[in-house]
Amino acid sequence: MAVVGSNEEIIERLKLIEPVEIKPGFLHLELDPLTDSLKEKAKKELRETPEIVKEALAEIRKLIQDEADLIVPDNDYFLTQFLRPCKWYAKSAFALMKRYFRYLKNHPRYCENLVPKNERAIFATRILTPLPYRAKDGSRILVLQGGKIWNPKEISVDQAIRGVLIFSTFATSEPITQVNGVRCIVDLDGFSLNQVFYFKPSHAAVLAEWFQTAFPGRLRSIDIINQPYIFNMVFAIIKPFINEKYRNRVILHGHDRKALKACYGVESLPKQFGGEIDYQLSESLDDSLYNYLCNFNKEFEELEKYGYSKES
């Protein structure tokens, strides 16, 4: 999310937002400073030390200054979202930032007016649900139910993609998620031929471009479960767009829960996914998740002001 003000002002403002109950837990934007163990993990995996951080922030600010047609928020909180996934290499982070804003500019169908208040339909369903618990490695978990719960005549693929982009932005604004990453469980129980016809190669291309080139985060895995044989038709559309780096992160589990439980931990998974949590993904959230996300409308609207000019 784009934010204005000092780091302290930003964090204190966003911390005042009350969590949303997603039984049996609560979802909230986690903005606490890194714990000692996370600092050690960031140092080991991301080269994160006070000296490197200071140097990288100064270097990326210089690179941004030299890019005349790119306007971005000038605060450490925002810049860190691009520096952490690039292991604090400023040139790589700046390249990611440029791809990110180019993506937003080049895909108005999915990115224009991308503010939670405009996406009530997708957030009032359970098609997209962020779990209130993290995987055992600390990753933020997003569940996408693309099977029997999804009626493509009511919720389009375009709307689902816009929802994914909003959740992606939400997650990567959390320091803990910047370090630990994001995992996505795609549940295809009940996926049918009728739904296949709504998923186009253009959808596969825009999702692949987002996660492989523009997403300012650490995508750990996309775990596909309960997929029927007919899903092979959809995967045949998707696979050509997935590069070698990410191909190993898309895992087809079918009905086997062994690898899923080993990766996520049973204490983080709903019972229907082989876990221990009595968490009903079929229960309606009404407008509770939508109302919670609308607390961040201001930050998403702020993001609309930044990026490349229309002429560039």
The CATH-assigned architecture of domain 118-284 is: 3-Layer(aba) Sandwich (3.40)
pLDDT tens per residue, range 14-56: 778 888 887 778 889 999 999 999 999 999 999 999 999 999 9
Considering Cα of 301, then 305, then 308, then 312, what sign does the dihedral take? positive
Strands 182-187 and 250-254: unpaired
Which of 156, 154, 151, 210 lies closest to 184, judged by CA?
210
- pLDDT-derived band of residue 280, with 50, 70 and 90 as boundaries? confident
pLDDT tens per residue, range 199-235: 999 999 999 999 999 999 999 999 999 999 999 888 9
Strands 250-254 and 140-145: unpaired
pLDDT tens per residue, range 56-102: 999 999 999 999 899 999 999 999 999 999 999 999 999 999 999 99
Least trusted range by pLDDT, from 13-17, 33-37, 174-178, 286-290: 13-17
The topology under which CATH files domain 7-111+294-308 is Helicase, Ruva Protein; domain 3 (1.10.8)
Global pTM value: 0.94
Gap between the Cα atoms of 229 and 292, Å rounded: 37
Residue with tokens 């270097």: 59
Q: Where are the domains of the chain?
A: 7-111+294-308, 118-284
Are both 7-111+294-308 and 118-284 of the same fold? no
